[in-house]
Structure 1
């Protein structure tokens, strides 16, 4: 039963809580008190010490949720409901922070120019990178969704392909979702590029191997590694940045630029809001809107409609 109780949260969330609670435990034991059940005043003093060290709301909230979770699991009264604790949380929200520097979204023109440079390219490494970029852009994929794709998650149909997203950030119960991507008409068609990648890598689309893996050079050619290991975040980021720098001087790109870029282009071209949210696997309006960089024309339209 203990194992099932621990899995009431996702593995990643559990790992985060373990780390945050261990820091609280180290702090309070150093002062000669118990970490569980905790005295609410001690929790408040711990949060205050985090803030004095420059801790942000993210740090404070992680500590609070970790302490709350462990107490609930063990059947103890939650000390984080104390008014001192709650007011310190509110203070951390209001405390001045450094402005968020969001990554610039990739544009359709950038991708067309990039793929135009490799029209007849048969180098597996290059084609893999381009396929990752185009899928991330057209499928509004987060890195974890892209790196977790298995070969069997891809299905080709006449005129479109589907991606089976087994787990997603907003799909906490792992129901899964399906992303459909239409066949395009330019050199940056994700359908065509992924087909080239599958052909060059000799991937078996019925296998459970990861779709995107590391590539090694053997003689004059390239091959995917045999080990069933997904591409790391660092490896994927380096690959994507290397390609994007060929056609853009903007250095404020990252893996999230692909998801943000696809979402921005779709939103500015009037895609139906319900389909838009479903395609990007967003639950709420605020999270969805955070990805979209409105075009100048769309922003000017507001005052143009005033009739002045």
Structure 2
């Protein structure tokens, strides 16, 4: 029964809650008080301590839900419903608010310029990086979705590629998602680049190995490592951003700039909102809107259509 109760939240969520709860337990333990069942006043003092040390709303919110989660799975009454606790979390939204530095988006022009630089390259490392960039952009992929792709998740069709997403942030019950990426007509065609990568890497498209892996030097040149180990976030970020900045310059971009760039290109091209929302696997309208940077024409259209 305990195993089933623990699975009421996803594995990553449970790990996050456990880490936050352990910090609370360490704090309250140093005061000689129990972490469970917790006294609402003690929780309020802990949240006050976090505010005094400059913690943001997200840290306090994580602490609150971690304590709530621990009491719930052990069958105790929820102490976080106390007004003091709730008001302190609300207060953290107005204090210690971090400065938001939103990343710039990657555009279609940027990607075509980048691929034109490597149009005749047979370097496996370069092609792998370009493939990750184009698939992320065209599929609106988060890095976790990209890095978790396995060879068998990819199916080449006539004029497009079908990619199965086994694990997604918005797919909590692991029902899976399927995205379709069409062939293009420029050097930045994601389907052609994916085929090029599969060919250069001698990848068995039916295998259960991760699609994107590290490389090593052999007497025959660069090859993908034999071990079935996904590419790390740190290494992928380093490779992808270095490639992108060769055409964008030193602007503020991140891996998520590809997902937001693809969504922006689709939204500003009058693609059906329902289709690109489904393509990006967004669970709500409010979440998808944060990824789109409206074009100048779209913004001006508001006042142009006022009849003035």
* Helix, strand or coil at the partner of 2:145: helix
**How far does residue 235 in structure 1 lie from its aligned partner after superposition?**
0.8
Q: CA deviation at 1:289?
A: 0.5
The 5 A counterparts of 1:216-295 are: 216-219=216-219, 221-295=221-295
| Cα shift readout 1:141-182 (whole Å, capped 9, x = no counterpart) | 000000000000000000000110001001000100001000
Q: Provide the C-alpha distance between the structure 1 equivalents of 2:246 and 2:77, rounded to a whole number of angstroms.
A: 57
Find out whether 1:184 has 2:184 as its counterpart. yes
- 2:296 maps to 1:307: no
Q: Which range is displaced more, 153-162 or 86-95?
A: 86-95
Q: CA RMSD in A?
A: 1.0
The structure 1 segments of at least 4 consecutive aligned residues displaced by more than 6 Å after TM superposition are: none
Residue 246 of structure 1 and its aligned partner are, at CA, apart by: 1.7
Alignment-derived partner of residue 79 in structure 1: 79
Which has the higher mean CA deviation after the structures are superposed, 23-32 or 144-153? Answer: 23-32
CA distance in structure 1 between the aligned counterparts of 2:224 and 2:77, rounded to whole angstroms? 53
State the alpha-carbon separation in 2 of the partners of residues 7 and 228 from structure 1: 27
CA distance in 2, matches of 1:279, 1:28: 46
Aligned mates of 1:264, 1:67 — CA distance in 2? 38
* Matching residue of 1:108: 108
Distance in 1, matches of 2:103 and 2:237, equals 13
1:226 Cα offset (Å): 0.5
Unaligned segments of structure 1, at least 5 residues: none
TM-score by length of 2: 0.98
Q: Which residue of 1 is the match for residue 298 of structure 2?
A: 298
Q: 2:118 corresponds to which residue?
A: 118
Aligned residue number for residue 163 of structure 1: 163
More divergent stretch after superposition (217-226 vs 120-129): 217-226
Which shifted more, 189-198 or 13-22?
Answer: 13-22
